[in-house]
Structure 1
Amino acid sequence: MFRHTRDEFSVLAHENFDDLIGAAAILTEKYEQIDKKNIIEVTDSFFDELERNNKKNAINSLQSSLVNLAAVGAKHKGNRRIEDFLGLYRNLPKNQEQMRGCMITHISQMVTGISSLNLVLSDWYGALMDESVLVRASAIKAWENVPFEVVKNFPDLFFDAFSLALSDPYKMVHKSAVSVGE
């Protein structure tokens, strides 16, 4: 149900905004626990590594769906709820890269016009310049959901920052930039 939601669940998402963001935050903790190793644990086999990656992908997918639904709910309520979403994003600790990246990926879901663009632009630009590779790559991925009619309202500085991703030394950021540009 969560994976392919559109605007039809916007009222429900708005009413449960805090629960959706809270559930996504809890998944960040679960995601980080997967990589923690026990002191007594023996070396991992190929299948152990494969299982760990599958768990991380499943958690990441569910977290992304929850945050996407929260962004749809924020868009439904308008600028006040968008500011709530951004406030949560701004207050996340820098070391919670997974959640920060997930939230910035869905920031473009809330862009419906100039007013909402003005609200998200500084955070989105900051994410494009973030020290975290994951957050930068996520900020690039957010471009996929920008409505075409809003693109002309983006400032040139944003496109300059976006184009820097094509020369980013990290493969994750560069791959995201190339895939969005296709």
Structure 2
Amino acid sequence: MANSLQDQLLKAGLVKAQSLKQARSTQHKQSKQSGGKSVETTETAEARAAAERARIEKLERDRELNRQRQEESALHAAVNEIRQLIHANRVVRDGGDLVYNFTDGVTLKRIYVNKEQQAKLVAGRLAIVRQDTFYEVIPAEIVARVRERDPSLVLVFNEPAAPAAEDDPYAAYQVPDDLMW
């Protein structure tokens, strides 16, 4: 069984030695011409092309998954950055005895602040932002940085009013700051 098929056919008398030599010579010449590589058939060429297409498709899927992961990690980083920014710059509201009402979407919410914080909220030097499920009061300087990242978090920010127009009929009337609603 260790003999090659050609040798077995020769021993059985089915092929002549001369045709066997000629076949070996032809095989040797073909392998020399192809650089020692076997001659590629159309089946192997198709299989190789299909494998290359599959490799390219896998690379494209991997790139898309990497892009999605990067976007998701950037989103998480932005959320954490906002959370840290609000937490580091929040105004402590301990001992607040005045109720400050504001809206969050369509619901009316309230927080307790002291008189000084209420005056600053009305004047636009403080703002109220939503952080997760609770509300924080932050300085006006931080509001711009929070708005850059997520403007929906800023709920109350009374921006300082521009100078009154000359043709405003109510310019002479002052609105009291202590008006409660």
The alignment's TM-score, normalised by the length of structure 1, stands at: 0.26
Decide which structure has greater strand share: 2
Decide which structure has greater helix share: 1
Bigger relative contact order, structure 1 or 2 (CA pairs below 8 A, ≥6 apart): 1
Q: In terms of Rg, which structure is larger?
A: 2
